[in-house]
Amino acid sequence: MLTIIHGDNLKDSRNFYFQLKQSTLDAITLQGDKMTLTDLTEAVEGNGLFVENKDVFIENLLSKKHAGKELDILIDFLHKHNKGNIALWEQKQLSKPQQKKLAGAVFREFSYPQTLFQLLDALAPENSKRLIFLYHQTLQNIEPEIILFMIGKQIRLLLALKENSLTSISEINMMQWQKPKLIKQSKLFSTKKLLILHEKLFNFDWQYKTGNLTQPLPDTLDFFLAEI
């Protein structure tokens, strides 16, 4: 059986992936960006005459290996193999075309609620009423630590766009498709305002991790959003 584990909620998808690995007695792990057809064949079929039902785990095959003939050959092999269990863990949400290539597999998707992305898109001056509404909706489904991280990431992207320094941050590889929308959002803020917001979020994160936050994190973020 071929199982595909993906989604933007890396914490939950990774936990599920590790639980799946721990449920097997002799798991074989391959790195998708370095894996060749020979590696995959040896992992699946082995060398022993009496070895059956190999459990093979492949990390980031689709996330890091560029589309092309080599990837198509690997995917074709995965489709044809039916002797054991193969699980693919991907560090991002797979696109519809990528999922179509793996039709017939069992997909386990771990994603954040849409209200989180609506909250990030709504970050703008004088928009506190909508921000707080979306924040409390999101807080019902995920931890405030994740919301803090995602808001911080969004502010870094907006600041990088404002200063034309996208190459200085790792998130650039994850947001090419949304660049026009982020550029428009960045124009709603001054550079000074984004720097102030970034510094506040950095301090919240440090204080929370060191136990020096003066109030609970959910309340801290509530006041932060109200003051944007």
Q: Does residue 143 share a domain with residue 219?
A: yes
Q: Which residues contact 120 (CB under 8 A, 6 or more apart)?
A: 150, 151, 154
How confident is the prediction for the chain on average, in pLDDT? 88
**Residue 164 pLDDT greater than 90, yes or no:** no
Helix (H, G, I), strand (E, B) or coil at 110: coil
**Residue 35 pLDDT greater than 70, yes or no:** yes
Q: Does residue 186 share a domain with residue 90?
A: no
- Measure the N-to-C terminal CA separation of the chain; round to a whole number of Å: 49
Confidence (pLDDT) at 52 = 58
2: its two tokens: 């071929």
**Residue 49 pLDDT greater than 60, yes or no:** no
Q: Does residue 102 share a domain with residue 124?
A: no
Determine the average pLDDT of the residues in 194-201: 96
How many structural domains is the chain composed of? 2
- Give the integer Cα–Cα distance in Å for 155 and 195: 9
Q: DSSP H helical segments within the chain, as ranges?
A: 10-22, 37-45, 61-64, 69-80, 96-101, 114-121, 128-139, 144-162, 179-186, 191-210, 217-226
Determine the average pLDDT of the residues in 199-223: 96
**Residue 94 pLDDT greater than 80, yes or no:** yes
Where does residue 34 fall: left (phi above 0), alpha (psi -120 to 50 degrees), or beta otherwise? alpha
The model's pLDDT over 55-90, given as tens digits with 9 standing for 90+, comes to 899 999 987 777 788 888 999 998 887 667 899 999
Confidence (pLDDT) at 223 = 96
Confidence (pLDDT) at 179 = 81
Q: Does residue 82 share a domain with residue 57?
A: yes
29: its two tokens: 């792990």
Q: Out of 23-32, 40-49, 116-125, 180-189, which region has the weakest mean confidence (pLDDT)?
A: 40-49
- Give the integer Cα–Cα distance in Å for 215 and 212: 9
Domain boundary among 79, 109, 139: 109
Domain boundary among 109, 132, 154: 109
Q: Does residue 85 share a domain with residue 32?
A: yes
Give the CATH number for residue 84.
3.40.50.300
Where does residue 6 fall: left (phi above 0), alpha (psi -120 to 50 degrees), or beta otherwise? beta
Report which residue type is found at 49: L
Q: Which domain holds residue 150?
A: 114-226
**Residue 48 pLDDT greater than 60, yes or no:** no
- Give the integer Cα–Cα distance in Å for 214 and 38: 56
Determine the average pLDDT of the residues in 159-186: 71
The answer to whether 81 and 53 have CB atoms below 8 angstroms apart is no
Give the CATH number for residue 175.
1.20.272.10
Confidence (pLDDT) at 17 = 95
Q: Does residue 60 share a domain with residue 8?
A: yes
**Residue 199 pLDDT greater than 80, yes or no:** yes
Domain boundary among 109, 129, 145: 109
- Model confidence at 26, pLDDT cuts 50, 70, 90, reads confident
- Model confidence at 139, pLDDT cuts 50, 70, 90, reads very high
**Residue 138 pLDDT greater than 90, yes or no:** yes
Q: Does residue 81 share a domain with residue 118?
A: no
Q: Does residue 92 share a domain with residue 11?
A: yes
